[in-house]
Amino acid sequence: MIGVPLRLKTAVALVLLGLLTLLAGIGQRTIWAPSETFTASAPADAGAAPLTVIDQNLRTLHGGTVKINIEGDGNFLLASGRPDDVDAWVGKTAHNTVTGVSEDGKSLQVEHADGEPTAPNPAGSDLWVSTENASGELEYSWTPPADGDWTLLLASDGTQPAPASVSMTFPNDTSTPWAIPLMVLGSLLILGGIALALLSLRKRNGEGDGNGKGSGFAQRARARTEARSSSRVTMAAAGVVAAAVVAGTGVAASATSPAPSPDSSAAPQDQSGSPVLLDAQFRRILEQVSSAADAGDAAKDAKKLAGRVGGTELEVRTQNYKIRSRVGSYEARMPVRSTKLLTTVVTSNRDWPRSVLAVTQGDGNVVPQLLTLVQSSPRENYKLVETNPLQPGTTFPTINRDGTETLAATDKTGLLYSGEEAMSGLADRLTSADSPFKDKLVEGKSSPYIADTLSYQAEVVKAGENGNFSFTHKVVPESTIVFRTADGGALVLGRINFGFEGTPKAAGDKLSIGDDAAALAGGKETTTGMVLSFAESMAVYVPPAGSTDPMKLVAATRGLVGASFK
């Protein structure tokens, strides 16, 4: 009878221990559960600077969405861009960079870089994929606009200090690796205690049957059976407890060493293969270019073009406005449309200058128009430098829309001709009917730009009874842009200066020019000679190396840019 009370006491102890263990496990999931987020703030002594960069590594530091709270005086903006674009725009300007979080998770780590005290206002830069404008306070959920790395730039107007009150809320590790093992362990201890108590009661009842009578052999056999049963219950409980402890240890190890998210621990991604513009950026830029061109065309005012039009197109349109203000019948340049965007070509070369193309056919575009846009430096926006109608019946070459390589004009790698050779060949082809490139560069039957140019030049010479006329076509080397096509060939774009000179054959002979040229020259007749200048915007397809196909003229147009008397 001495063993029964001891077993009952042990059973009670197991039940109590089980209850405590079960409550401890439940507590880890409830009252002791860790917060789902934690917030870190920028230190007050970080130092003032006109720009603050928030490093791309913070977005994936703890997985999940990061929320940013910013407070500042007046208006400010938060812009999102590729890390290399943000770095290039910041340049040598003094700035702060939020690089990480302190070990206790309470403070943001901020590094200060000295430099120029001010910067241009970053608002409206084409480098930003998106911008958030705020006054006083901004709450921002940091989500990537596309694959790859993204950095944030915080600024007021480039002259005033960027807002200094910055806090970031990160997802916290809410795992409780011991909660389930403790709950399982507690439950098993309770069950073990109950089982032991039942065995003890059974023994007590068994000893009372028959008033303690029975053979000694039977009593000893019964005692051995009960001892084995009690041992099995104890060993089973111990085994399950051990298994639960081992499982808990495994869960704990997993929780303290979580598998990294796909990009949380990786080094910053190389952006070299990324297109310099996303579709949303491209469309926004194209709309702004189109609006500027529309405003200039409507007012015949080149000043309205300056922000979004440059290079050849600014020169041609400026002179077009001047002529049209004096010659009402003179044809306007084809309008620039952002709608009915047929295709885009975006370079993946991330150095500057950067070039992109768009093919559109909106209202007023009889044929699709090829638009060439160039960004000269990080702090400048893209400008339309050439507009070029596709030749009727011509198929635009296939180019990877996810970003393609741009080549130097002298680079012949994988090509039948380099960009420089292609443009030089075209210039020679336009100058001479017997050009060596006669069969090496062709055009479609329904788009005889080359044939019409040669015919016009021959007719002027033949009809010039009072004058001697000459024609030149010279490449402007710095204008040449080369894009790799999907078949390994290239699309070459550039400007050729078309010169038309005339001198009287004899003293007293007069040469006459048209009304359009007269608007620029200041008169219609000359006895000393005249010079007309046209800008030709051209696009040529170059086959890949090893091909037996000729080059093909894809797009061509010209505009009068100068007229003068000698």
* Percentage above 90 pLDDT, the chain: 70
* Percentage above 70 pLDDT, the chain: 84
Q: Which amino acid is at 345?
A: V
What angle (nearest 5°) sits at the alpha carbon of residue 277, between those of residues 272 and 278? Answer: 110
129-143, 228-242, 285-299, 440-454: segment of lowest average pLDDT? 228-242
Confidence (pLDDT) at 238: 44
395-444, pLDDT tens digit by residue?
999 999 889 999 999 999 999 999 999 999 999 999 999 999 999 999 99
Confidence (pLDDT) at 234: 45
pLDDT at 206 exceeding the cut of 80: no
Quote the CA–CA distance of 229 and 482 in Å, as a whole number: 88
Token pair recorded at residue 241 = 């407890």
85-89, 153-157, 244-248, 444-448: segment of lowest average pLDDT? 244-248
pLDDT at 212 exceeding the cut of 80: no
pLDDT at 218 exceeding the cut of 90: no
Mean pLDDT of 265-277: 65
Mean pLDDT of 279-298: 97
**Which of 416, 464, 411 has its CA nearest to residue 441?**
416
Quote the CA–CA distance of 403 and 148 in Å, as a whole number: 14
Quote the CA–CA distance of 117 and 124 in Å, as a whole number: 21
Rounded to the nearest 10 degrees, what angle do helices 449-463 and 419-431 cross at?
40
Quote the CA–CA distance of 66 and 172 in Å, as a whole number: 11
Average pLDDT of the residues of the chain: 87
Taking 3-state DSSP, the helix, strand and coil percentages for the chain, each rounded to the nearest 5, stand at: 35, 30, 35
Mean pLDDT of 189-211: 68
Mean pLDDT of 206-216: 47
Q: How far from the centroid of its chain's Cα atoms is residue 175's Cα?
A: 34
Is 157:108 a contact under the CB 8 Å cutoff?
no
Confidence (pLDDT) at 15: 76
Is 419:411 a contact under the CB 8 Å cutoff?
yes
Quote the CA–CA distance of 386 and 200 in Å, as a whole number: 98
Q: How confident is the model at residue 498 (pLDDT cuts 50, 70, 90)?
A: very high
Q: How confident is the model at residue 119 (pLDDT cuts 50, 70, 90)?
A: very high
**Which of 391, 335, 394, 332 has its CA nearest to residue 360?**
335
Tokens 């197109």 belong to: 313
User: What DSSP character marks residue 94?
Assistant: -
Please list, residue by residue across 161-190, b when 16 or more beta carbons sit within 10 angstroms of its beta carbon and e when fewer do: bbbbebebbbeeeeebbbbbbbbbbbbbbb
Mean pLDDT of 492-518: 95
H/E stretch holding 456: helix 449-463
Is 389:555 a contact under the CB 8 Å cutoff?
yes
Quote the CA–CA distance of 388 and 493 in Å, as a whole number: 10
Sequence-ordered list of residues with C-beta below 8 angstroms from that of 320, at least 6 positions apart, any chain: 330, 332, 333, 559, 560
171 or 80, greater pLDDT: 80
Is 274:148 a contact under the CB 8 Å cutoff?
yes
Confidence (pLDDT) at 210: 44
Confidence (pLDDT) at 31: 66
Q: How confident is the model at residue 489 (pLDDT cuts 50, 70, 90)?
A: very high
Q: How confident is the model at residue 236 (pLDDT cuts 50, 70, 90)?
A: very low
Q: How confident is the model at residue 205 (pLDDT cuts 50, 70, 90)?
A: low
Mean pLDDT of 338-362: 96
372-406, pLDDT tens digit by residue?
999 999 999 999 999 999 999 999 999 998 899 99
207 or 458, greater pLDDT: 458
State phi, psi for 182 to the nearest 5 degrees.
Answer: -65, -40
Q: How confident is the model at residue 52 (pLDDT cuts 50, 70, 90)?
A: very high
DSSP line for 189-247: HHHHHHHHHHHHHHHHHHHHGGGG-S-HHHHHHHHHHHHHHHHHHHHHHHHHHHHHHHH
* pTM recorded for the entire structure: 0.80
Quote the CA–CA distance of 293 and 285 in Å, as a whole number: 12
Assign 449 to helix, strand or coil.
helix
13-22, 160-169, 229-238: segment of lowest average pLDDT? 229-238
Confidence (pLDDT) at 420: 98
Mean pLDDT of 220-243: 47
353 or 15, greater pLDDT: 353
H/E stretch holding 293: helix 279-299
**Which of 304, 206, 213 has its CA nearest to residue 4?**
206
pLDDT at 264 exceeding the cut of 70: no
Within 13 Å of residue 219, how many CA atoms lie on the same side as its CB?
A: 11
Q: What Å distances lie between residue 224 and 87, 204, 229, CA to CA?
A: 82, 15, 9
Within 13 Å of residue 427, how many CA atoms lie on the same side as its CB?
A: 23
pLDDT at 278 exceeding the cut of 90: yes
Quote the CA–CA distance of 491 and 219 in Å, as a whole number: 104
By CB neighbour count within 10 A (0-12 exposed, 13-18 middle, 19+ buried), where does 192 fall? buried
Token pair recorded at residue 121 = 């206002």
**Which of 133, 126, 169 has its CA nearest to residue 154?**
133
**Which of 259, 67, 267 has its CA nearest to residue 149?**
267
pLDDT at 106 exceeding the cut of 80: yes
**Which of 295, 278, 228, 284 has its CA nearest to residue 85?**
278
Confidence (pLDDT) at 373: 98
pLDDT at 100 exceeding the cut of 90: yes
Is 356:507 a contact under the CB 8 Å cutoff?
no
Confidence (pLDDT) at 33: 59
Q: How confident is the model at residue 495 (pLDDT cuts 50, 70, 90)?
A: very high
